[in-house]
Structure 1
Amino acid sequence: MTLQEALALVAIGGVAGFINVLSAGGSMLTLPLLMFLGLSPQVANGTNRVSIVLQSVAAVGSFLRAGASHVQLSLLLSLPAVAGSLLGAWLALSVSDALFEAVLIAVMAGSAVLMLLPQPRLETRPLTRERLTPLIYLAMFGIGLYGGFIQVGVGILFIVVLYRMLKIDLAQVNVFKVLIILVYTLPALLMFMAFDQVRWGYGLLLALGSMAGAWVGVKVNMGPRGAAWVKWLTLVVIVAILLRLLLS
């Protein structure tokens, strides 16, 4: 690994951590970057989990210090997501590199389109345990399955379930999202480690940047205006990466 590659990992990790806390799409930057640096799609997919886990730790810690208090409900939602994540990671380890690359391109293109759709203005209310229906738990299993497989754009699914279905305000969606992602990504990372699909040097450099980006993202999320402009930054980068993937 060259110095330039190490700096790129830290820098892109920082942008991805910031985006992941406030919106969705950080892995659309980091996963292709790891592949551009020479890692196979399977190894890149496993290595990316190191950054996701550590940035989630940083974000959860910052949210808790800022006064967030949704740990119990987040853990309840995490249980089906963990089961889905293990299945998703196993499926990811079973597919060919060519198929994984095709799925990555399709997912990135689809996520970019979904991010362009306007969010409806809903009347939101606090989440209580009584509102967690079997359909919500099934949806969380699906999110875990998807996250365990590829993770890219998983924040969009959280917006669908938590904002559109449960009508939680978007700032609180981000709090639930990072804690649930932390819980379900840990077992997925362990599975990738068991199959020797993690390169720690790359993953830790990426995590160094993403933890700093997540910390900044928490400060913006807890502020009065949030960061709606983040999705436009994400979309510009996604288009550039998609072109690079298609040309290669």
Structure 2
Amino acid sequence: MDMLIMEGVALVGIGVIAGFINVLSAGGSMMTLPLLMFLGLPPQVANGTNRVAIVLQSISAVGNFLRAGASHIGLSLRLSVPAVVGSLLGAWLALQVSDAFFETVLVVVMAGCSVMLLWPQPHVATRTLTPEHLTTKVYLAMFLIGIYGGFIQVGVGVLFIAVLYRMLRIDLAQVNVFKVFIILIYTLPALCVFLYHDQVRWGYGLLLAIGSMTGAWLGVRVNMGPRGAAWVKGLTLVVIIAIMLRLLLT
């Protein structure tokens, strides 16, 4: 019983940190996915279970954006179509690989995302988004991100920023709206794939979701300046490096 309580506290606690970091920086899944594996879930089950928290956190974020008057919902739905197709393929591919291969991919992805977190965000001259800006290249990029997100999800937010901000040249506030809408829409079918193959543990996922939704709620209400945001990013990197070492040494 004590062990179950400790696991529950860990899931909610790390979920709070991950949700908080996702709002102020990035990299929440780089903490939650390894945690589920450390608690004894096989990699593929952890991969599926992590989607429960992502879906519920995204629903909460989408609701907040709608109440705040989010715009261009139709365009975000159009961008979601290739991402959904890609996510179904990615989730299927994730279930075909061995646990050892998946753990190797996880370490490599976490290392890459750590570098991307340190990479300075370039300034891009933004513009008003219209349907004409949704080119074949943009749809192809959404499809490829969907494959990646369906496969592992970790760090997918960074990829969305790269495509939506740099290719579509829309402001970062609108990028965030598009990002949460698309992640919600493409994660739902991916979660269904993992559910169909019995790769989801609802108890773990719901506890993690409670924490991540709470952390995100706190994050949007904390007024942090550039130094505070940099501190959060630095803390994220320290935790990620510690997790990577743990994965490599086990």
State the TM-score, normalizing by the size of structure 2: 0.93
Q: Kindly tell me: are residues 185 and 242 of structure 1, through their superposed partners in 2, closer, same or farther at Cα, counting changes over 3 Å?
A: same
Quote the offset at 1:228 in angstroms.
Answer: 4.0
Quote the offset at 1:49 in angstroms.
Answer: 0.4
Quote the offset at 1:66 in angstroms.
Answer: 1.9
Distance in 2 between residues matched to 1:232 and 1:176, nearest whole Å: 26
In structure 2, what is the equivalent of residue 48 of structure 1? 50
Kept in 2: contact 1:22–1:174 (CA 8 A): no
Query: Given the alignment, which residue of 242, 246, 249 partners 1:247?
Result: 249
1:210 is aligned to 2:199? no
Comparing 199-208 with 120-129, which one deviates more in the overlay? 120-129
Comparing 21-30 with 139-148, which one deviates more in the overlay? 21-30
Query: Given the alignment, which residue of 124, 127, 130 partners 1:125?
Result: 127
Distance in 2 between residues matched to 1:147 and 1:73, nearest whole Å: 20
Could you list the runs of 5+ residues in structure 2 that have no partner in the other structure?
A: none
Quote the offset at 1:225 in angstroms.
Answer: 5.8
Query: Given the alignment, which residue of 171, 174, 177 partners 1:175?
Result: 177
| % same residue | 74
Quote the offset at 1:69 in angstroms.
Answer: 1.7
Quote the offset at 1:224 in angstroms.
Answer: 9.4
CA RMSD of aligned residues (A): 1.7
Distance in 1 between residues matched to 2:200 and 2:54, nearest whole Å: 13
Q: What one-letter code is carried by the residue in structure 2 that aligns with 1:129?
A: P
* Equivalent pairs, count: 246
1:147 is aligned to 2:149? yes
In structure 2, what is the equivalent of residue 83 of structure 1? 85
Quote the offset at 1:212 in angstroms.
Answer: 1.4
- 1:85-234 matched pairs, under 5 angstroms: 85-219=87-221, 228-229=229-230, 230-234=232-236
Runs of 4+ in 1 over 6 A off after TM superposition: none
Distance in 2 between residues matched to 1:236 and 1:64, nearest whole Å: 34
In structure 2, what is the equivalent of residue 72 of structure 1? 74
State the TM-score, normalizing by the size of structure 1: 0.94
Distance in 2 between residues matched to 1:217 and 1:75, nearest whole Å: 26
What are the superposed Cα offsets for residues 58-100 of structure 1, whole Å, 9 maximum, x if unpaired?
1111111122223111111100000000000000000000000
Query: Given the alignment, which residue of 47, 61, 64 partners 1:62?
Result: 64
Quote the offset at 1:152 in angstroms.
Answer: 0.4
In structure 1, what is the equivalent of residue 12 of structure 2? 10
